[in-house]
Amino acid sequence: HVQLVESGGGSVQAGGSLNLSCVMTGVTHSRYCLGWFRQAPGKEREGVAGMNIGGSTIYARSVEGRFTISTDNAKGTLYLQMNTLKPEDTAMYYCAAARDILRSSRLSPARYNYWGQGTQVTVS
């Protein structure tokens, strides 16, 4: 049974940083892919960063160079380090997991079938 629980959101000023965490249980198979997504009010959910267990990453252009996705497999935790935050980064952030997603599709929400409950990030 896969369960994902996010934490680390909050309110920061533009230019600040946050580090989101996602504790994962049941994500044990080496073919799992992991992703971070966000959804602002009135907008569709969009992919922010994705990776496979082997460490191959992909980022949305809007966050590349500012955000970093990583895992600590020993702790079963997925991270999203967010630097140089902008007001347009304000959204609910979700982590997600699924098996066997091609790298080119790892930012597509439709490819994921396990989701966390979300953590709010507000940048002013």
Task: Give the model confidence (pLDDT) of 37-82 as tens digits.
Answer: 999 999 999 999 999 988 899 999 999 999 999 999 889 999 999 9
> Contact 22/81 with Cβ under 8 angstroms?
no
| Mean pLDDT along residues 78-90 | 98
Task: Give the model confidence (pLDDT) of 12-43 as tens digits.
Answer: 999 999 999 999 999 877 789 999 999 999 99
Q: Longest C-alpha distance within the chain, in Å?
A: 39
Q: Which residues contact 6 (CB under 8 A, 6 or more apart)?
A: 20, 21, 22, 93, 94, 95, 116, 117, 118, 119
With cut-offs at 50, 70 and 90, classify the pLDDT of residue 6. very high
> Contact 20/6 with Cβ under 8 angstroms?
yes
